[in-house]
Amino acid sequence: MTETSISHLITHLLEQTNAFADGKDAPEANIDEILATVPTVAVLNPWNNKRIYELPQLSVAQVVDSIDYAREYQPVWGAFAASSRAAFALALHDALVKHEKQLLDLLQLETGKSRQHAFEEFAGSVGSLRYYGKTASHTLRRQRTKSGVPILTRSYVDYSAVGVVGVITPWNYPLALAIFDVIPALLAGNAVVQKVDNQTALTGLFTRALAIEAGLPEDAWTIVAGDGADIGNAITDNVDYVAFTGSTATGRIVAARAAARLIGCSLELGGKNPMIILPGADVHRAAEIALAAAMGNTGQLCVSIERVYVPNSSIDAFLKVVAKAANARTVGRTNDFGVDIGTLTGTAQLQRVTSMVDDAISKGARLVAGGQPLPEVGPNAYAPTVLTDIPADAKLDRGEVFGPVLQVYAYESVQEAIDLANDTDYGLNASVVGPESEAIAVGLKLRAGSVNINEGYRASFASMASPMGGMKSSGQGRRNGPGGLLRFTEARTVATAGGPIKLPTRAKAYNRMAPLLRILNAVLRRF
């Protein structure tokens, strides 16, 4: 992305939040002059830790002003027919397809992910737009429901927008997570204020620019950037609903602040996701599935597999195969599908992964593959890593590592594997590898919001018609599917009474009505 296009996007960030200093008008002001008057942070390229550009940091007051303005505008957007809003989603779908290369380039620039993992994110994004573009009108239409007193009454359910939705997205999937949350909130008739992560602001701003080209009114979707805690709290404390994706620790804060205001929230949080390999499963195929699930997006994925449970009878063979396969994974930077894994997104991520792996090894874990940074590849690159014999007191045993690390454990019985897989505070995603019918039976016993059979996460991740979310400390609420749209609405029941027979209004009228209702109860019980 050129300096000119970056400046253009930054100008739009400042324009939409009235963040210009000294009343300067954006088209006439030089962006460098403006940036000299506002707080900024340096956004670094994960592949070399060099500055890409300076990102303006908005104040709490500016964010609150943006939310107030969005609330004023929301009735305008909400008055659009649901079919028109759905048509916008399909137009944005086509815009993303048209700009696939630019989006993949941008995702790689900001996150350091490989081309294949950037493409996976892109594919999920257009899949979501296609799904909601084709189904939103039907899902949002007024629906007739069974009345309590047939003939005498009729009832309907109507869905209305909640108002202003706050969407807080992390850096690891800046395109997909915006599409998964921002777009259904817009299609439900809400105005949206999205807080992007500083590291991936350009992806959010570019996606919004494409949305405006696709027909979205500019005032319907506002993007803000700034300090995570301050701006995140400002959003939660002022919007009518908040959708948050991030750590469990921060999610608890969002939930508490939302509860204090009695507003709704959906939270997609952390995971320590297990995979069970059943007896008799092909170890070569199982190893490939496990590594693909652990190394997706360099492991920086909430639904990636971190723990694998293997039968005692197969553990040695599995470790031998998975070690060879891990060592064969290529790590590097290309703009094609030439390497398997990209880099970690920043120094903090490298330190997190390195410290957790080193801690486990120092406490007795056995290193099977990898286990070290790759400075010759990039300052934040880390080798695909496999460990076993992880002690219970290692941070890695239960903590989410969020990196290219696979932990392998042995089990004696399938029930033991199920118990071990469920022995976690998290419950986001799980996987079972083996004969399909048996694997499904095992999967239904796992406490996770999604369970993949003979796949790590992509089978469920790609199903936009299916709900996605976590159990236990992995979150609340669901994205995707009809519920992923209706969470951004208020359900209103509209019931009418009329016809030749009227509902009673005085006690004596029940002398005639009660016998009829008793007969009606008996009839309804039969059908």
The set of catalytic residues is: 268, 302
Strand-pair partners of 331: 341
Q: Write down the number of H helices and E strands in the chain.
A: 19, 18
Contact 416, 436 (CB under 8 A): no
> Of 323, 433, 339, which Cα lies nearest the Cα of 384?
323
- Going along 347-449, which residue ranges are E strands? 366-369, 385-388, 405-411, 429-433
Biggest CA–CA distance in the chain, Å, is 90
**Structure tokens of 80?**
């659009």
Half-sphere exposure of 90 (CA within 13 A, CB side): 12
459-496 burial: b if 16+ Cβ within 10 Å, else e: ebbeebeebbbbbbbbbbbbbbbbbbbbbbbeeeeeee
Count CB atoms within 10 A of the CB of residue 167. Answer: 30
> How many CB atoms are located within 10 Å of the residue 28 CB?
6
DSSP type of residue 138: H
**Residues whose CB is less than 8 angstroms from the CB of residue 373 and which lie 6 or more positions away in sequence, other chains included:** 350, 354, 380, 381, 382, 383
Taking the CB of residue 42, how many other CB atoms lie within 10 A of it?
A: 11
Q: Report which DSSP code applies to 418.
A: H
In 3-state terms, what secondary structure has residue 352? helix
Buried b (16+ CB within 10 A) or exposed e, 120-155: bbbebbbbbbbbbbebbbebbeeeeeeeebeebebb
Nearest by Cα to 203 from 182, 233, 218, 230: 182
d(CA 186, CA 378): 39
Give the residue among 499, 304, 260, 270 at the shortest CA–CA distance from 406: 304
**Residue 505 structure tokens:** 């209004």
